[in-house]
Amino acid sequence: MSDPTIWESGHTRKETLRYGAAGLVGLSALDLFAASGAAAATHGSEALAAARRLAPWDSTRPKGPATGLPRRIAWANTAAAEFFLALTAGMKDASKRRKMDFVTAISGNDPAKNIEQMESFLARGVGTLMMQPLDLATQRPVMIRALKAGICVEGLITFPTTLQIAASQYTVGYTQGKAAADYAKKRLGGKAEVLYMNLDSLAPALVVRHKGVLAGLKTGGSGVKVVSDQGVDVSVETGFKVMSTVIQAKPNIKIVLGGDSAVIGAYQALDQAGKLSNDMYLSGVDGDSQALALVKKGGAYKASIAFAWKLMGYGLGQFGADWIEGKSIPRVMVAAPILLDSPAKVRKYESDSANPAATFASRARYEKYLPLLGNVSYATRKLYWKKEYVPA
């Protein structure tokens, strides 16, 4: 890349797809299980109240004393996937506005390279370190060292962290399934055959998403039936192959659900076979740019569930700067699943993402995408996450 603040090690497109299992795996918590239900924190050796009891972030708390931390924010990225690069752009924008130095590195999903980059950031001196789980056994010692140095550690659904990005994969799945069920009741007389392309093999958390999808579909009643439930990887090609095969045995399928890449492949297969019709309901997860273009176009591709990656990055940059300046920041940023099921909703999402500063300036507007919970500051820096937080 030409940007001098970014270093990238090589990786294949297949690796990027695998580790980019979504806004999927990026927000799947890797070790997330719905049964955990709540999370705890640590303050020295004292266990705190369950995370589900966190109050909304109080932005009015007074600024604390100077931290003495370097005015530098670092992001230890793992892959050059579209959504991670959007997060990078948001962090860079916020850092620049706050007159903070911003540095990032892409490990190409190489755990050793990732640790080397994190170590390099600490040696150079940072006030905030953002990271994505890759090999937690080797990452956690570095994170603990950063926390002990008073650095704000921001992480995607992992610990130990100061500020944790959280997501409920069950909610993601349920949102997708229920929206499809609602369509079946409203437009298909309550009767529809469904193909679901699951990603269970990629991470335990995506099994939780699978359960959410099926529960959401059940709200449509007995007439909404899953006639094919296929395990896939994250690629357009696999979605194309699965749909091409399934439509031969189940020609009456009206609803197709999965990740955006697979569902885009299914869309192409149906189109090529002459089986695509406007009364179909195809829906993906990830807010893939091609999927959003299809939703705006109108037709069978009715919805994509997106995460506000650029807005997330912007908030992480702003809160990272706040920490360095001794201000109180949220302990949790919830990555809410955003159902984009109309051209107007897609345009609104794209507009808000294109201008993160304006969106962030309105807390109500920002928290439609990313609710903020709890409070922590440099003055209370011994308070950090010791478990994953699972939002209700």
Domain 6-167+308-335+370-385 superfamily per CATH = Response regulator (3.40.50.2300)
* Contact by Cβ (8 Å): 276, 270: yes
Report the residue count for the chain.
Answer: 392
* Contact by Cβ (8 Å): 179, 339: yes
Torsion of CA 112, 116, 117, 119, to 10 degrees: 130
The pLDDT score that the predictor gives to residue 2 is 36
User: Could you give the CA distance from residue 199 to residue 224 in angstroms, rounded to a whole number?
Assistant: 21
Q: Using one digit for the tens of pLDDT, what is the confidence trace for 68-102?
A: 999 999 999 999 888 899 999 999 999 999 999 99
Cα angle 1-79-301, degrees, rounded to a multiple of 5: 105
The pLDDT score that the predictor gives to residue 375 is 98
> pTM of this prediction?
0.84
Of the candidates 317, 249, 328, which has an alpha carbon nearest to the alpha carbon of residue 74?
317
Fold for 169-306, please state it: Rossmann fold (3.40.50)
Q: Write the single-letter amino acid at 16.
A: T
CA 109 to chain centre: 17
Cα angle 210-214-216, degrees, rounded to a multiple of 5: 115
The pLDDT score that the predictor gives to residue 28 is 41
Burial 175-203 (b: 16+ CB within 10 A, else e): bbbbbbbebbbeebeeebbbbbbbbbebb
Q: Could you say which residues of the chain have pLDDT below 70? A: 1-52
* Contact by Cβ (8 Å): 374, 385: no
> First vs last Cα of the chain: how many Å apart?
39
Of the candidates 19, 24, 16, which has an alpha carbon nearest to the alpha carbon of residue 208?
24
* Contact by Cβ (8 Å): 167, 391: yes
The pLDDT score that the predictor gives to residue 123 is 98
Domain with CATH 3.40.50.2300 in the chain: 6-167+308-335+370-385, 169-306
Give the DSSP H or E segment for 318.
helix 309-324
The pLDDT score that the predictor gives to residue 52 is 55
Three-state SS at 355: coil
**Residues 6 or more apart from 303 whose CB is under 8 A from it?**
176, 179, 281, 283, 284, 295, 339, 340, 341
